[in-house]
């Protein structure tokens, strides 16, 4: 007994026990969550890395691990099969999967309330709007979801699709084709703007980006999704995750340089400066008229219905055959901050 007292250094037992209990509860409270990206790490994926770096997940007693992805379909599959709990996906891909196969995955938080589809061209090319696409050569990746919506975009802007020469090629060839004049226009996402602009600058040329949301295609895009198993079995964990992620979104766009560093710190091959530039360049996808009027992260019923309408039209699906409300769950949104 005497030796034990010496070992404790006569620290009061109540303090020792309290410390042991606090340490034990901290270890037990960290709920593990696997987060599935829908593509490779970069500035557009910054919030989850910011959540780790700034301790926002830790504040919610969450131990979050991140898995890289290869597209929305891959992310949906990982969640559907239980290899991830929560992640990112294009909401359009989720609506399609729910409509066709009723997969057990739901959207719980909107990240991009505008879609990132865009035309890339060079300043001085004479292509300053969608209407100018008529008679032009347009290069695109064979795999991008933008291809599905191109006919709709042309239609609502009065452009005959047969007047456009569409060339499909490897994504890595798109920017060189544009800079060398082998195509008049490239289809890509706004998230690629900084990479394209940097290469154009070295060639002494200036890039021009024409977002499709400015030409009539307005709908939800990248969203936080979760498996129904996760939502049903660990609803409190899901709510804490969304609360931390929402805080990380706000911090990311308030501190782009620091947030770019956060991505780089976890994934060293991601250039911090490029990630920060990407964060700044896509701010309009996150903060816009929709998010201002309806609230950050919110799935507005009318805009959700519009998103499904465009999706159904693009895929040749009967709009009335599916209720998009069944694809989202708003009950995990954080409570509004007190005034």
How many CA atoms, within 13 angstroms, populate the side-chain half-sphere of residue 7?
5
Percentage helix, strand, coil, to 5, in the chain?
A: 55, 15, 30
Say if residue 27's pLDDT is above 60: no
Predicted pLDDT of residue 23:
52
Mean pLDDT of all residues belonging to the chain? 91
pTM, entire model: 0.87
pLDDT tier at 84 (50, 70, 90 boundaries)?
Answer: very high
Split at pLDDT 50, 70, 90, the class of 215 is: very high
The pLDDT of residue 337 is 54
pLDDT band at 310 (very low <50, low <70, confident <90, very high): very high
Question: What was the pLDDT predicted at 143?
Answer: 82
pLDDT at 81: 95
Instruction: Retrieve residue 335's tokens.
Output: 């409570």
Do residues 203 and 179 touch, judged by C-beta distance below 8 A?
yes
**What is the arithmetic mean of pLDDT over 183-206?**
94
Give the per-residue pLDDT at 14. 46
DSSP lists the bridge partners of residue 44 as none
For residue 23 the two structure tokens come to: 């340490």
The strands making up 31-36's β-sheet, listed across from edge to edge, are 62-67, 31-36, 86-90, 222-227, 105-110
What 3-state DSSP class applies to 213?
A: helix
Distance CA 177, CA 32 (A): 45
What backbone torsions phi and psi does residue 225 show, to the nearest 5 degrees?
-120, 160
pLDDT at residue number 54: 98
Tokens of 246: 């929402």
Q: 70 pLDDT band (50/70/90 cuts)?
A: confident
Residue 156 has, within 13 A of its CA and on its CB side, a CA count of 14
Secondary structure letter of residue 264 according to DSSP: H
Rounded CA-CA distance 177/186 in Å is 8
Domains and CATH numbers, the chain: 27-114+219-332 (3.40.190.10), 117-215 (3.40.190.10)
- Which residues are 106's β-sheet partners? 226
pLDDT at 26 over 70: no
- Which pair of structure tokens corresponds to residue 217? 């295609």
pLDDT of residue 325: 98
| In the predicted structure, residue 29 carries a pLDDT above the cut 90 | no
Q: 121 pLDDT exceeds 70?
A: yes
């Amino acid at each position: 007994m005497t030796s034990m007292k010496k070992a404790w250094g006569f620290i009061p037992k109540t303090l020792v026990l309290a410390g042991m209990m606090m340490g034990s509860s901290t270890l037990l409270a960290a709920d593990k969550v696997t987060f599935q990206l829908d593509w490779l790490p970069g500035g557009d994926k910054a919030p989850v890395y910011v959540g780790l770096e700034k301790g926002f997940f830790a504040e919610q007693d969450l131990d979050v691990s991140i898995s890289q992805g290869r597209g929305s379909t891959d992310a949906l599959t990982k969640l559907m099969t239980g290899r991830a709990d929560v992640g990112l996906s294009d909401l359009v891909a989720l609506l399609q999967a729910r409509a066709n196969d009723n997969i057990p995955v739901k959207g719980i938080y909107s990240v991009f309330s505008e879609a990132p589809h865009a035309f890339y061209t060079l300043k001085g090319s004479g292509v300053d709007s969608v209407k100018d696409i008529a008679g032009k050569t347009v290069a695109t990746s064979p795999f991008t979801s933008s291809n599905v919506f191109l006919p709709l975009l042309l239609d609502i802007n009065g452009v005959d699709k047969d007047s456009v020469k569409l060339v499909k090629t490897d994504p890595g060839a798109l920017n060189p084709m544009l800079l060398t004049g082998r195509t008049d226009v490239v289809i890509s996402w706004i998230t690629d703007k900084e990479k394209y602009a940097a290469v154009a600058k070295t060639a002494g040329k200036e890039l021009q980006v024409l977002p499709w949301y400015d030409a009539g295609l307005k709908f939800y895009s990248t969203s936080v999704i979760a498996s129904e198993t996760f939502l049903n079995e660990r609803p409190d964990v899901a709510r804490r995750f969304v609360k931390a992620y929402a805080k990380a979104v706000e911090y990311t766009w308030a501190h782009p340089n620091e947030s770019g560093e956060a991505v780089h710190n976890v994934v060293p091959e991601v250039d911090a400066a490029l990630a920060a530039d990407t964060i700044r360049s896509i701010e309009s996808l996150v903060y816009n008229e929709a998010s201002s009027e309806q609230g950050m992260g919110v799935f507005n019923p009318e805009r959700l219905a519009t998103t499904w309408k465009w999706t159904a039209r693009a895929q040749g699906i009967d709009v009335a055959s599916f209720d998009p409300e069944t694809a989202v769950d708003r009950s995990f949104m954080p409570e509004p901050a007190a005034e």
